[in-house]
């Protein structure tokens, strides 16, 4: 098996280049010099973000196919741009590669990443290849653009604003758990076999169903809400916005803290797919709690003034994902999850995400 350490750096760069479309006119100097040179977009602000995927922390190579690793490495960054209402423009890739990574896996990671970048018509303009003495790490920097005064921030929510979430939540957390369970029941020496999604979904006949595949794919191939974020920004429809990398509870807390408001979330309104709900139920877990604390959804949570609800029309029609009203911002700075248990309405504090850097 050929590994990345059998190749030179320029051979690896050459392999990346084969996945890239022809460079756009605004790219003056591309891959291969000390830095990239680009023409900025006129009359636009620039939106910059960097996010890393670290093996053993953000993904497990034993059950995450290399194409999904590449896809996710870019998706988490696109999700940040989506949360700002920005149009993606370019990316810089920084890989730290273990020497024993096969060239096939390297190519598949790059293919997964560049397929997503092409889908969003953004261009990889440069990057860096380093060797890692430990885990595989993929650091992606993205730059997007937004019209002046249209950038969505976390801090614009006011008491009375309504809270919305895009798509559905919880499926990615369920999918990750399914992948872990599937892997745990396999012989761990059989990891290579495990690297393709098809194989993963055939580990247990009883589990093989489109439901399982759907949840796993929600974890493996998240679809950042780029179009929806753009429509929210263009129509000035949202007063605050955040993406759900660490789960809905964490996202609502972040908007509340940045905006100086509280929030009351209606547990019954949360968009949790019936199949996701059923799967958590079957394990004796609370579907609502699992879905608000589970990460990896890469949906958006945003707030909107009730009287400007009409501005949501474009996002509703053309955003590519349903919008669900899940609660309201409050003057009281508490963030509560409201649930109906029997005939009683119970407000409990919304759980926080991971508190320590572990």
Footprint of a copy of itself on residues 76-95 (CB under 8 A)? 80-81, 83-84, 86, 90, 92-94
Of 62, 171, 65, 160, give the one whose Cα is nearest residue 111: 65
Token pair for 345: 């309405």
Question: For a copy of itself, which is the closer residue by CB, 83 or 216?
Answer: 83
Question: For a copy of itself, which is the closer residue by CB, 236 or 338?
Answer: 236
Q: Which of 73, 87, 143, 335 binds a copy of itself (CB under 8 A)?
A: 143
Going by C-beta distance under 8 Å and a sequence separation of 6 or more, which residues neighbour residue 190? none
Applying the rule CB under 8 A, the residues between 20 and 39 that interact with a copy of itself are 28-29, 32-39
256 binds a copy of itself (CB under 8 A): no
Measured between its terminal Cα atoms, the distance across the chain in Å is 35
Token pair for 150: 């249209």
Q: Which of 2, 18, 155, 204 binds a copy of itself (CB under 8 A)?
A: 155
Tell how strand 162-166 and strand 27-29 pair up. Answer: unpaired
Check: CB of residue 300 under 8 Å from CB of residue 229. Answer: yes
Kindly state the helix (H) or strand (E) to which residue 260 belongs, with its residue range.
none
Check: CB of residue 50 under 8 Å from CB of residue 192. Answer: no
Exposed, middle or buried by CB within 10 Å (0-12, 13-18, 19+), for 235?
A: middle
2 binds a copy of itself (CB under 8 A): no
Q: How far is the CB of 68 from a copy of itself (least distance, A)?
A: 18
Q: How far is the CB of 326 from a copy of itself (least distance, A)?
A: 19
Residues binding a copy of itself: what is the number (CB under 8 A)? 76
Of 99, 43, 100, 282, give the one whose Cα is nearest residue 177: 282
Q: Which stretch binds a copy of itself (CB under 8 A): 236-244, 274-282, 286-294, 323-331?
A: 236-244
Q: Which stretch binds a copy of itself (CB under 8 A): 134-142, 159-167, 278-286, 339-347?
A: 134-142
Applying the rule CB under 8 A, the residues between 262 and 301 that interact with a copy of itself are none
Token pair for 57: 């922390």
Question: For a copy of itself, which is the closer residue by CB, 99 or 306?
Answer: 99
242 binds a copy of itself (CB under 8 A): yes
- CA dist 298 and 245 (Å) reads 5
Q: How far is the CB of 310 from a copy of itself (least distance, A)?
A: 26
7 binds a copy of itself (CB under 8 A): yes
Question: For a copy of itself, which is the closer residue by CB, 6 or 193?
Answer: 6
134 binds a copy of itself (CB under 8 A): yes
Applying the rule CB under 8 A, the residues between 92 and 131 that interact with a copy of itself are 92-94, 96-97, 99, 125-131
Q: Which of 2, 18, 46, 180 binds a copy of itself (CB under 8 A)?
A: 46
Check: CB of residue 137 under 8 Å from CB of residue 55. Answer: yes
The alpha carbon torsion through 112, 230, 327, 290 (nearest 10 deg) reads: 0
Q: Which stretch binds a copy of itself (CB under 8 A): 213-221, 238-246, 304-312, 338-346?
A: 238-246
Of 130, 51, 41, 18, give the one whose Cα is nearest residue 87: 41
47 binds a copy of itself (CB under 8 A): yes
335 binds a copy of itself (CB under 8 A): no
Question: For a copy of itself, which is the closer residue by CB, 125 or 328?
Answer: 125
Encode burial over 115-153: b for 16+ CB neighbours within 10 A, e otherwise. ebbeebebbbbbbebeeeeeebbbbbbbbbbbeeebbbb
Q: How far is the CB of 283 from a copy of itself (least distance, A)?
A: 27
Secondary structure class of 319 (helix, strand, coil): coil
Q: Which stretch binds a copy of itself (CB under 8 A): 148-156, 172-180, 307-315, 331-339?
A: 148-156
Measure the CA angle with vertex 232, ends 93 and 313; round to 5°: 140
Question: For a copy of itself, which is the closer residue by CB, 124 or 304?
Answer: 124
């Amino acid at each position: 098996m050929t590994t990345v350490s059998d190749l030179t750096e320029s051979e690896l760069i050459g392999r990346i280049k084969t996945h890239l479309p022809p460079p756009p006119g605004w790219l003056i100097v591309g891959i291969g010099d000390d830095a990239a040179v680009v023409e900025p977009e006129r009359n636009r602000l620039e939106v910059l973000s960097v996010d890393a995927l670290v093996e053993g922390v953000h993904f497990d190579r034993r059950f995450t196919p290399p194409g999904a690793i590449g896809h996710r490495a870019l998706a988490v960054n696109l999700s940040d741009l989506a949360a700002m209402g920005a149009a993606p423009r370019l990316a810089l890739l920084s890989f730290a590669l273990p020497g024993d990574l096969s060239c096939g896996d390297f190519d598949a990671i790059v293919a997964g990443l560049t397929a997503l970048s092409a889908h969003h018509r953004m261009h990889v303009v440069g990057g860096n290849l380093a060797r890692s003495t430990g885990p595989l790490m993929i650091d992606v920097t993205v730059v997007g653009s937004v019209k002046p005064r249209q950038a969505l921030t976390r801090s614009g929510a006011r008491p009375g604003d309504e809270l919305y979430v895009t798509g559905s939540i919880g499926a990615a957390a369920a999918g990750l758990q399914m992948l872990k369970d599937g892997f745990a029941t396999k012989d761990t020496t059989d990891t290579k076999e495990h690297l393709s999604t098809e194989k993963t979904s055939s580990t247990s006949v009883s589990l093989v169903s489109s439901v399982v595949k759907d949840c796993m794919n929600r974890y493996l191939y998240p679809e950042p809400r780029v179009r929806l974020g753009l429509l929210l920004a263009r129509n000035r429809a949202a007063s605050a916005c955040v993406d759900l990398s660490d789960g809905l509870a964490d996202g609502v807390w972040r908007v509340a803290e940045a905006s100086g408001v509280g929030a009351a979330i209606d547990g019954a309104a949360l968009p949790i797919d019936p199949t996701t709900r059923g799967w958590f139920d079957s394990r004796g877990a609370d579907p609502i709690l699992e879905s608000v604390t589970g990460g990896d959804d890469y949906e958006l949570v945003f707030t909107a003034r009730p009287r400007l609800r009409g501005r949501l029309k474009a996002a509703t029609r053309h955003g590519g994902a349903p919008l669900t009203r899940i609660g309201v911002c409050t003057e009281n700075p508490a963030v509560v999850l409201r649930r109906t248990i029997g005939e009683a309405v119970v407000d409990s504090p919304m759980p926080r995400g991971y508190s320590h850097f572990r």
